[in-house]
Amino acid sequence: MIAPDPEAASLNSDNLDALAGFYKGLASDDERVRFVNALLERLDENRRYLAVSYFMVAVLWRVGPLAPALQQARRDLPAAEDASLSSVTSLCS
């Protein structure tokens, strides 16, 4: 993200807001854990979600567990320049 004031920069997305709102509306800790685990499990190059891995990390960042998301992405996403891991790391820059 290029912003004149990086400290004041924000990431805005209707879909991101919708998933974060869904997470906040979950009734129990068990449901929240299942939501997080469902996203983490999809951060894998062998799953069909490779193209949106940056988005899943953004959702996890918004709802809290960023560290596990980054660890999973680093371990299970391809590291090639044109691959999803670079999208994830760009999101965090």
Q: Where are the domains of the chain?
A: 14-91
pLDDT of 1 > 90? The answer is no
Q: How many CB atoms lie within 10 A of CB 69?
A: 24
Residues 6 or more apart whose CB falls under 8 angstroms from that of 86 comprise 79, 80
Residue 22 pLDDT: 97
Mean pLDDT computed over 15-39: 96
Asked if 55 and 15 touch (Cβ cutoff 8 Å), the reply is yes
- Residue 21's pLDDT is 97
Q: Give me the pLDDT at residue 88, please.
A: 55
- Percent of the chain at pLDDT above 70? 82
pLDDT grade for 23, boundaries at 50, 70 and 90: very high
